[in-house]
A and B are shown apart, each in its own frame.
Chain A
Amino acid sequence: MTRPSPRGRERARRWTVLRQAARTRLGPLGVAVMIAAIAVALLAPLISPYDPLKQDLGNALARPDRAHLMGTDNVGRDVLSRMIWGTRVSLLAGFGSVALAMVTGGLLGLLAGYAGGRTDGLVMRVMDAVLSFPPLVLALALGAVLGAGLTGVVIALGVVYTPTFARLMRGQVLTITARDYVEAARALGAPGWRVAWRHVLPNAAAPIVIQASLSVAFAILAEASLSFLGLGIQPPGASWGSMINAGRGYLQQAPWIVFWPGTALFVTVVGLNFMGDAVREALDPRLRK
């Protein structure tokens, strides 16, 4: 019998992780919610029944009926269509800011852990300083100077989440560089970047992926909070947070304006939490039964 190649072994390990994630109780539910949300975001132009920006003042605050399944808002825009387009904004902000934080924080952590000494001290103190701000206050202040809009929010949230990934990566690098196989690679004359790329990064990936899967939920919540405050995507663009803010003045006459985007936000965040927990259980050997 031939031994599987390293690549084959890696593929088999990935399948085991996926199987384990699928075996958790609520993991599949989380994945289903996420697939649905991603499908809605991608297919928004096809499935949205109306133009999300088109106002119809004669039909403002209309109750949910067959023409408008989730009713209309205060200027007669279709709530369902705006909710569908808002999914794009939420997912873009959630995944975009976490990807930004993962790359920046990962590289900074790699640099700090690898270089050690003063570089390590400087990078980590800067990260401590970023962590010294309450996250939403920092995002609000950064959003204010970067200007309202999706890009500003993604950058602001990316900065807020960077230290978490930098700390995590640095810890991983310090543990992994002390291992025998890294020592062996170095002894064989492998250059620093190759050791980092081939040996350190793949082994440090698991906790980073776990953290990323848990952070996306919080990033989506944070984007919604910033949009609610008026810093995210600007009117007339639709995002769940801004829709809820616009509807709060009509709670008595038209609670559906707040109810539907609120439900979408809550269900997405619960789904992401389920998925994050499942990924953590599958990747973290200590949590595996």
Chain B
Amino acid sequence: MGRLVLRRFLATIPVLVLVTAGVFALIHLTPGDPIDVMMAESVDATVKANLRRELGLDQPIYVQYAAWTWRLLHGDLGRSIRNGEPVIENVGRRIRPSLQLAALAMAISLVVATPLGILSAARRNTSVDRVGTTFALFGICMPNFLLALLLIFFFGVKLRWLPISGYVDPLEEMLPGLRSLVLPALTLGLALAAVVTRTLRSSMLDALSEDYVRTARAKGLSESSIIRGHVLKNALIPVVTVLGLQLGTLIGGAVITEYVFALPGVGRLVVDAVFARDYPLVQGVVLLIAVGFILSNLAVDLLYGWIDPRIRYR
């Protein structure tokens, strides 16, 4: 296991280097002068020159890259040109709502998808299965923002059960906090549940056709104990992989969900930074998200090796 961890970790290093190079290049992809794009035309030329010097844009590109990487290695991700605060502080303030949203969405997806996926496979080609597969299809084809608006329309506007925007920290005020997160978490969780349901159903069907299931049936075990004791464990392996693969979609979904529900999370920060043309902030946040994404993928990879010994010893 130690060798697997080391091998996977070493493999991520060149990718991390290329990712930082890509993020650095972002600002240089701007058509025209990035300073002109970031600041309005009316802004004084001295202010523009100062910003250019501050961002190092008056230096040759290799000097800029070296300086940027050096600062990065010292934990300096740059500063927002709008509020002047370091990127890391901007993100630090916004990370809590995003993590709470992700955790709640993950919980909702597992609560919905586990029974639905299992029942769909165990009662294949019945009405339960049709409900499961239709739900999966709807969830996969439904854009996040549309689902969000439907939930707002029914639960916020028509029934007036839940708040339609804003955020209260559940760690400070439990009930209002949870209420403020229910609709965003449902938006994100149901989309994820659709993918998990589809994967769980198909991996359960694969496992159900294995010889050991026939043996268990021949021994006279009940269908529910076969599923619990033999099928489910084996069927969960692809689900873990899919959950890992869906991380990117989850982060993208969180960007949209936070935008629609006005949640002050990291996703919302990206959108705000993009529209404020605050490129240093965009660079910093995108880099942090990418590194987080790479590390979570690494964790999922290792988790997979831990669950399935065949991968560990390959």
Contact = CB atoms under 8 A, between A and B. Distances in A.
B15 A251 contact: no
Given A129-B18, A142-B29, A144-B274, A225 B143 contact: yes
A99 to B, nearest CB: 21
B22 to A, nearest CB: 6
Interface residues of B, number: 46
Nearest to A155: B29
A266 interface: yes
Given A135-B249, A141-B286, A269 B141 contact: yes
B142 A134 contact: no
A133 B290 contact: yes
Given A141-B282, A145-B30, A228 B140 contact: no
A217 interface: yes
A217 to B, nearest CB: 7
A136 to B, nearest CB: 3
A145 B27 contact: yes
Give the size category of A's interface with B: 35 or more
Interface string B251-284: 1110110011000000000110011010100100
A273 B277 contact: no
A252 B252 contact: no
B182 interface: no
B29 A228 contact: no
Contacts of A145: 26-27, 29-30, 279
A37 B249 CA distance: 26
B144 A225 contact: yes
A135 B22 contact: no
A125 B12 CA distance: 10
A41 interface: no
A135 B253 CA distance: 10
A132 interface: yes
Contacts of B279: 144-145
A265 B153 CA distance: 18
Contacts of A225: 143-145, 252, 256
Interface string B26-70: 110111000000000000000000000000000000000000000
Contacts of B297: 132
A114 to B, nearest CB: 22
Contacts of A146: 29-31
B137 A273 contact: yes
10 contacts: A133-B248, A134-B247, A140-B274, A144-B274, A144-B277, A145-B30, A229-B271, A252-B157, A269-B141, A270-B141
Interface of A: 125-126, 128-130, 132-138, 140-147, 217, 221, 224-225, 228-231, 241, 244-245, 248, 251-252, 255, 258, 262, 265-266, 269-270, 273
